[in-house]
Amino acid sequence: MSDRHLRVARVCKSYGRQRALVDVSLEFVPGRVTAIVGPNGAGKTTLLGILSTLVRPTAGEIRLGDEPLGHRARQTIGYVGHEPGVYPDLSARQNLRLFAALYALSSAEERIATMLERVDLADVRIDLPTRAYSRGMLQRLALARALLHEPEILLFDEPSSALDPTGVRWLVGELRREREAGRLVILVTHDLEAASAVAGHLVVIRRGRVTLDRAQPAGFPAAEVRALYEEALRDR
């Protein structure tokens, strides 16, 4: 029985003349939140694209447990970006019904009801299109969408970028909760505070390379995260 670790081995990604990722090797473990931080253009979003199977690496390989990560893994990956990824003309329920069908979920209605409760959207008017939702509501719906099919892997791409402080606190709470539930959580963020609040594994990416890869089960105090980040960015 293999472990369900996500292993990235010597992954490179080039877009024509630009090298977005060079020789990236990392290991992600269930029940732990990995925070990936780095300056803009470092390659974090590209890495997440590869981890979500949307982008094919130019070289290297990625394995989930024993198997290479392929399109079959999509059933078990959940993604929350800074855009909510829901259809603005449909209501929350209609959106979730669509995604439930896309993921071929049985007892979809129950699951949808549970998720809406969980993200506190159960009381919203049933037929209100999500176009009318606030940013915070959209983000909560996005999380519901991502968790609907009970994925093993949860990917977040700058989820707190458009949230207010309450929203960020809520997000951090959800991240903790998913970590406790044993999910493999990867969080790409600029928000070092949020990262320090939940991460047990810190990765710094700069110019397509990993300059820091440290796991600390006890977590990282905020000051330490900042210090590590700054050091990893310093020109050596």
Partner 1 sequence: MTGSFWRYTLLIAGKDLRIEGKSREVLYTMGFSAALVVLVFSFALSNATDPAQGPITAAGVLWAATLFTGTVALARVLDRERENEAIRALLLSPAPRAAIYAGKLLAVSLLMLAVEGVLVVLVGLLFSAEVFAHPGWLALVLLLGTLGFAATGVVFSAALLRSRNREALLGALLFPVVIPVLLAASRATACMFDPLAPDLEPVAFWVRFLLATDVIYILLGLWVFEPVVSGE
Partner 2 sequence: MNLPPALSLPTMPTAPAPTSTRFLAACGGAFLLLFLACLAVAEAPLESVMGLVQKIFYFHVPCAWLLMLSTLVCAGGSIAYLFRGSERGDRIALSAAELGVLFGMCVLVSGPLWAKAAWGVYWQWEARLTSSLLLWLMLVAYVLARRYGGTSARRLAAALALFAAVDIPLVYFSVRFFRSIHPQTTVVSTLGPGMRGAFWLSLLSFTGLWFVLMSLRLAVENAQARIVELEVLLDQAEEKKS
- Decide if residue 75 touches partner 1 (CB under 8 A): yes
Residue 86 interacts with, from partner 2, partner 1, none (CB under 5-8 Å by kind): partner 1
φ, ψ for residue 135 (rounded to 5)?
Answer: -60, -45
| Residue 55 or 90 having the CB closest to partner 2 | 55
Cβ atoms within 10 A of the Cβ of 126, count?
10
Contact predicate 115/109, CB 8 Å: no
| Residue 22 or 143 having the CB closest to partner 2 | 22
- Decide if residue 71 touches partner 2 (CB under 8 A): no
| Residue 71 or 125 having the CB closest to partner 2 | 71
Near partner 2 by CB under 8 A, which window of 15-23, 31-39, 156-164, 218-226?
15-23
Residue 53 interacts with, from partner 2, partner 1, none (CB under 5-8 Å by kind): partner 1
* Size of the chain in residues: 236
Q: Are strands 209-215 and 201-206 parallel, antiparallel or unpaired?
A: antiparallel
- Decide if residue 59 touches partner 2 (CB under 8 A): yes
Calculate helix-pair angle for 92-102, 108-118, nearest 10 degrees: 130
- Decide if residue 16 touches partner 2 (CB under 8 A): yes
CA diameter of the chain: 57
Contact predicate 27/62, CB 8 Å: no
Say if residue 189 is exposed, middle or buried (CB neighbours under 10 Å; 0-12, 13-18, 19+): buried
* Tokens read off for 119: 């993200």
- Decide if residue 17 touches partner 2 (CB under 8 A): yes
Residue 210 parent element (H or E):
strand 209-215
- Of 11, 35, 62, 138, the one binding partner 1 (CB under 8 A) is 138
Interface residues with partner 1 (CB under 8 A)?
Answer: 15, 49, 52-56, 71-72, 74-75, 77, 79, 81, 83-90, 94, 98-99, 101-104, 130, 138, 145
What is the contact surface with partner 2 in residues (CB under 8 A)? Answer: 14, 16-17, 19, 56, 58-59, 209, 235-236
